[in-house]
Amino acid sequence: MGVSSRSAVAIHALTMLARWDDKSLTSAEIADSLASNPVLVRRILGSLRDAGLVWATEGRNGGWSLARPATQITLRDAYTAVEAGPVLSRHPHPPSDACEVGRNMQDLLDAEFRDAERALEERLSRTTIAHLVRQVLANERAAARRNH
Amino acid sequence: MGVSSRSAVAIHALTMLARWDDKSLTSAEIADSLASNPVLVRRILGSLRDAGLVWATEGRNGGWSLARPATQITLRDAYTAVEAGPVLSRHPHPPSDACEVGRNMQDLLDAEFRDAERALEERLSRTTIAHLVRQVLANERAAARRNH
DNA sequence: CAAACTGTAAGCGCCACGGTTGCAGTATCT
DNA sequence: AGATACTGCAACCGTGGCGCTTACAGTTTG
């Protein structure tokens, strides 16, 4: 296991919004694609809205749209918007102060883990939603070509 | 949250074994430093043993020792030994096959997430247990100097 | 007013987690 | 031999977060 699947849902939703960016999509439409529930989608899109990545119009014919071009939204943006805590958990309790190692490990480990998490986020920041849309369309074209 | 705290415990234990590598340490001693439980420590050290990082002698005066020099054990070794699944969770369910995005996202996301996880592990592999021991000793020397 | 949306709060069952108890096996010490 | 001090392992518990659902208030359009 590990981090929640909210990032996956967020990236999925953003990719859909980018794929059909001429119209807005409802949480029900996105939930259908995810084989999930509209409320769950709204919760996650709510986090993305708070992060300034998407916006919603309420009422009938309402729905969700990207707040900026898909070329300017990275996977890291989605990840940090929906994921709270650190990836790598630290000590459950503070270690013993009486131990030479114990009284130093927490800070040392924190520095190492932060660097590692930074490396993960840095890699995520190298892929944009636009890139994923391009790959989806390319895959679809290839699949259509195979069906002749 | 995120990944379990087993990595933190494993690295803590390895650092202790490396710090006092002239003798073997019991699970109780390590548990004391962690303010935790000997059984929990044994569970995690058991994984490290299966990964070939440490070994134990049973019976009275038994205990744990490193299986190879601390310069040749990285944080990645500890991490992969105790942590099972992927860091970043994928879709809870397979998405809908009827959606153009849905039927492509899983593979695309998996590739991206694997790359990101690889980046995290790569960073962890750059720090050895010996390096942590060196920092602990340096911190202790600095603290002793301040107490004059 | 009815319909179709978003937005929230509350609750559900599930599962992994850290932690604990209990006990069998094994080596050492007296 | 018998007490002692370890590892090893299985079973269990309480907690918390997860994905998911229901219910309902608010908002805009037909």
How many residues are given for chain B?
148
Pick the residue from chain B with its C-alpha nearest to A121.
Answer: B116
% of chain B at pLDDT higher than 70:
99
Q: Do B105 and A15 touch (CB under 8 A)?
A: yes
pLDDT of residue A148: 78
- Nearest C-alpha of chain B: how many angstroms from A67? 20
Q: Which nucleotide is nearest to A64 (CA to C1')?
A: C6
Q: Could you read off the pLDDT of A32-70 as tens digits, one per residue? A: 999 999 999 999 999 999 999 999 999 999 999 999 999
Q: Could you read off the pLDDT of B68-95 as tens digits, one per residue? A: 999 999 999 999 999 988 899 999 999 9
Q: Is the CB of B56 under 7 A from strand D?
A: yes
pLDDT of residue A2: 63
In chain A, the number of structural domains is 1
In a domain, B118, yes or no: yes
In a domain, A24, yes or no: yes
In a domain, A41, yes or no: yes
Separation of B31 CA and D5 C1' (Å): 16
Closest CA to A77 of A52, A96, A45, A55: A52
CB contact A37 to B (< 8 Å): no
Q: Which nucleotide is nearest to A91 (CA to C1')?
A: C18
Q: Do B102 and A11 touch (CB under 8 A)?
A: no
Write the CA distances from B133 to A87, A132, B5, B64, B112, integer angstroms.
24, 43, 20, 17, 34
In a domain, A61, yes or no: yes
Q: Which helix (H) or strand (E) holds B44?
A: helix B38-50
Q: Categorize the per-residue pLDDT at B2 as very low, low, confident or very high, splitting at 50, 70 and 90.
A: low
In a domain, A1, yes or no: no
**Which ranges of A35-128 would DSSP assign to H, the alpha helix?**
38-50, 75-82, 102-124
**Domain extent for A142:** 6-146
Nearest to A33 among B36, B86, B96 (CB): B96
In a domain, A124, yes or no: yes
Q: Which nucleotide is nearest to A31 (CA to C1')?
A: D20
CB contact A90 to B (< 8 Å): yes
Q: Do B96 and A139 touch (CB under 8 A)?
A: no
CATH number at residue A127: 1.10.10.10
